Amino acid sequence: MRTFVFKAYASKRNRKLHRQIGVAASIWNHCIALHKRYYRLFSRHLNQFQLMKHLTKLKKLPRYAFWKELGSQAVQDVVQRIDKAYLLFFKNAKARKIENMSGRKVRPPSFRKWFKYQSFTLKQAGYSVTGNLIVIGKQQYRFFKSYEIEGKIKTLTVKRDALGDIFFVFVTDAEHQTFRAATTEIAGMDIGLKDFLVISDGTKELAPQPLKQALKQLAKANRTLSRKQRGSNNRRKARKNLARLHRTIANRRKDFHFKQARKLAHRYNAIAIENLNLSGMKALWGRKVSDLGFGGFVSILEHQASKTGCTIVKIDRWFPSSRLCSSCGKINERLMLRDREWSCDCGAIHDRDLNAAINIQRAGTSALGLGDVRSGPIPAITV
């Protein structure tokens, strides 16, 4: 499956898409209210098929006649998304009760403000695509077609961002054309706060930290927004200016992630990385972890690796990569987080991050059956 995203031309006719997204938000909130009421009365989960039949009856009433603006498949998708979210919530709650789990909880779906609701999805019907022209219902829209859509279109999602721009997201049945990297090299990669990436061959990469660089601009934009009168056009302009700044920050971060991931996926045949505890890292270092975007980078790296045939090996987070001497295999129990360099009893002097990358590389090599980890326990591996 492949995803293609195109931006729609700015046009007055896009107002109809905005109204349809608003209708989807109205249906979402109505379904959430019905779910809550049904569970309060019967202590049971509301069946999605019963709910779809009920919504079909409601659309015939004058009060809900505006729901007809949204295609029936989009309404079904809203119901299915809510049902999936509730099933995940009940599954998590049951598992936590049985296993006495602690940590992050999965929350049930909740009400959404109409201007924060972002999209609706059409599946088999309700749209047609010809060139850069798309017909939804009876209305035509044009989009910037920067490349050809490959494969048969399975779903179309109409998405709105915080600036009010409309995007068309096509999911097709096309497969990636994979090709092998030019080398058979296996790399270990340590992800950290000081250096974004430290690779086992000694390469280091620094992240741009776009949020940190734009903090003064963000503070000014937030102050400007807070001074505007609610409901005024000037407040709307200030809100869009702030959203535009946030989008620029996100795009800069994503651009850096894609460039690094593409370079690594083309350079190495296999990459070993640690399975990081991101929620724990955010609790300790907060904004910087979010600014670096470790989770997003790993997802992009896996996506790029699938194109080149590169293998991603994830090492268990409890593997002592930093404390394990890459020369003799002895574990330094006294190593503290503030120690950036340390010396082993065997006489070796280690850079903390580079030593960790070398140990991760060896653990990944062992997982692929090409070698053994020097001393210490063999970590849990996910390929």
pLDDT digits (tens, 9 = 90+) for 67-79: 999 988 999 999 9
* Paired strand residues for 142: 133
Percent over 70 (pLDDT), the chain: 92
Please determine, for residue 374, whether its predicted confidence score (pLDDT) is greater than 60: no
Q: Distance of alpha carbon 113 from its chain centroid, rounded? A: 22
- Indicate the pLDDT class of residue 15, thresholds 50, 70 and 90: very high
- Indicate the pLDDT class of residue 182, thresholds 50, 70 and 90: low
The confidence score (pLDDT) of residue 104 equals 61
* Paired strand residues for 274: 315
Name which residue leads in pLDDT, 309 or 56. Answer: 56
The confidence score (pLDDT) of residue 238 equals 94
Mean pLDDT of 359-375: 72
Mean pLDDT of 159-163: 90
Helix/strand/coil (H, E, C) string of the chain? CEEEEEEECCCHHHHHHHHHHHHHHHHHHHHHHHHHHHHHHHCCCCCHHHHHHHHHHHCCCHHHHHHHHCCHHHHHHHHHHHHHHHHHHHHHHHHHHHHCCCCCCCCCCCCCCHHHCCEEEECCCCEEEECCEEEECCEEEEECCCCCCCCCEEEEEEEECCCCCEEEEEEECCCCCCCCCCCCCEEEEEECCCCCEEECCCCEECCCCHHHHCHHHHHHHHHHHHHCCCCCHHHHHHHHHHHHHHHHHHHHHHHHHHHHHHHHHHHCCEEEEECCCHHHHHHHHCHHHHHHCHHHHHHHHHHHHHHHCCEEEEECCCCCCCCECCCCCCECCCCCCCCCEEECCCCCEEEHHHHHHHHHHHHHHHHCCCCCCCCCCCCCEEC
Name which residue leads in pLDDT, 350 or 70. Answer: 70
Please determine, for residue 335, whether its predicted confidence score (pLDDT) is greater than 80: no
The confidence score (pLDDT) of residue 344 equals 82
- Indicate the pLDDT class of residue 102, thresholds 50, 70 and 90: low
pLDDT digits (tens, 9 = 90+) for 217-271: 999 999 999 999 998 999 999 999 999 999 999 999 999 999 999 999 888 888 8
- Supply the pTM of this predicted model: 0.79
- Indicate the pLDDT class of residue 285, thresholds 50, 70 and 90: confident
The confidence score (pLDDT) of residue 342 equals 77
pLDDT averaged over the chain? Answer: 85
- Indicate the pLDDT class of residue 138, thresholds 50, 70 and 90: confident
- Indicate the pLDDT class of residue 101, thresholds 50, 70 and 90: low
User: Token pair of 50, please?
Assistant: 């019963």
pLDDT digits (tens, 9 = 90+) for 20-59: 999 999 999 999 999 999 989 988 888 889 899 999 999 9
> How many Å apart are CA 313 and CA 321, to the nearest integer?
15
Domains of the chain: 2-172 (no CATH), 186-207+257-382 (3.30.420)
Please determine, for residue 66, whether its predicted confidence score (pLDDT) is greater than 60: yes
The confidence score (pLDDT) of residue 79 equals 93
The confidence score (pLDDT) of residue 381 equals 41
The confidence score (pLDDT) of residue 278 equals 79
Please determine, for residue 93, whether its predicted confidence score (pLDDT) is greater than 70: yes
Q: Highest mean pLDDT: which of 1-5, 214-218, 283-287, 305-309?
A: 214-218
- Indicate the pLDDT class of residue 359, thresholds 50, 70 and 90: confident
- Indicate the pLDDT class of residue 179, thresholds 50, 70 and 90: low
- Indicate the pLDDT class of residue 378, thresholds 50, 70 and 90: very low
The confidence score (pLDDT) of residue 191 equals 86
List CB contacts of 7: < 8 A, sequence separation 6 or more. Answer: 143, 144, 165, 166, 167, 168
The confidence score (pLDDT) of residue 382 equals 46
The confidence score (pLDDT) of residue 370 equals 62
φ, ψ for residue 7, nearest 5 deg: -90, 135
